[in-house]
């Protein structure tokens, strides 16, 4: 009797799980959305690579996610962020934010765990950049941090994909919705935009200070 009950329970649980057709449909939709998000991200990030955004000047010293050339040398730079770096970062971040917003939207459409991963790593990068702007760390220190952060982002992104595909084969539609709702709530609680605003404020203050310093000699001469 006990064995029969266990077998009956197993049959009922199997019946409640997703069918092959559902799994195939979920996987196909996921693949299409993920491919679209990846294409949009590459297109937008490639569009940032222009002289007007400060990208080419920054990549001479800094490791950027889209270009990790000369990584070894960049990790041992002992200099601090320069006035020119500040100007370039303001232009670059303004252009890059368009891509970040698009990526958060596209990956959030797939699963908010992707968006949360991006937002969380972005917030950590911004906090590190604030340290660099405050001259608490060198350019090399920031580059070393970014190498590790980008690697961690890619690893977490891969793990999220594995988890999602595994859930497609085991969870019901209601369970999938609950998982996504939890991920959405976590995403909405991140500090991504708060950190970005702090960096922007600091960059603006530093640029204004540079402008005042340039005007000071003229004022002295006029007097």
- What is the per-residue pLDDT across 86-141, written as a single tens digit (0 to 9) for each? 999 999 999 999 999 999 999 999 998 999 999 999 989 999 999 999 999 999 99
| SS3 of residue 19 by DSSP | coil
Phi first, then psi, for residue 114 (nearest 5°) are -65, -45
Alpha helices in 48-111 (DSSP H): 55-58, 71-74, 83-110
Q: Which residues pair with 64 in a beta bridge?
A: 67
DSSP structure class, residue 77: -
Q: Are 196 and 97 in contact (CB under 8 A)?
A: yes
Whole-angstrom distance, CA of residue 207 vs CA of residue 86: 7
pTM of the model: 0.79
Q: Which residues pair with 67 in a beta bridge?
A: 64
54-92 pLDDT, tens per residue?
999 999 999 987 666 788 889 999 999 999 999 999 999
């Amino acid at each position: 009797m006990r064995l029969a009950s266990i077998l009956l329970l197993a049959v009922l649980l199997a019946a409640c799980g997703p069918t092959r057709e559902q799994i195939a449909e979920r996987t196909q939709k996921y693949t299409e959305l993920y491919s679209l998000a990846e294409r949009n991200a590459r297109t937008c990030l490639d569009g940032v690579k222009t002289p007007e955004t400060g990208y080419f000047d920054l990549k001479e010293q800094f490791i950027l996610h889209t270009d990790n050339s000369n990584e070894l040398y960049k990790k041992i730079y002992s200099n601090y962020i320069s006035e020119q770096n500040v100007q370039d970062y303001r232009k670059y971040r303004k252009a890059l934010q368009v891509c970040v917003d698009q990526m958060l939207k596209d990956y959030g459409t797939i699963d908010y765990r992707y968006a949360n991963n991006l937002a969380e790593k972005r917030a950590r990068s911004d906090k590190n950049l604030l340290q660099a702007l405050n001259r608490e760390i060198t350019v090399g220190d920031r580059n070393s941090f970014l190498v590790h952060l980008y690697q961690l982002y890619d690893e977490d992104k891969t793990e999220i994909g594995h988890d999602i595909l595994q859930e497609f084969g085991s969870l019901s539609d209601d369970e999938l919705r609950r998982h996504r709702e939890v991920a959405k709530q976590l995403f909405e609680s991140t500090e991504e935009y708060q950190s970005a605003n702090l960096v922007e404020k600091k960059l603006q203050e530093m640029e204004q200070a540079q402008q005042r310093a340039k005007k000071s000699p003229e004022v002295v001469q006029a007097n």
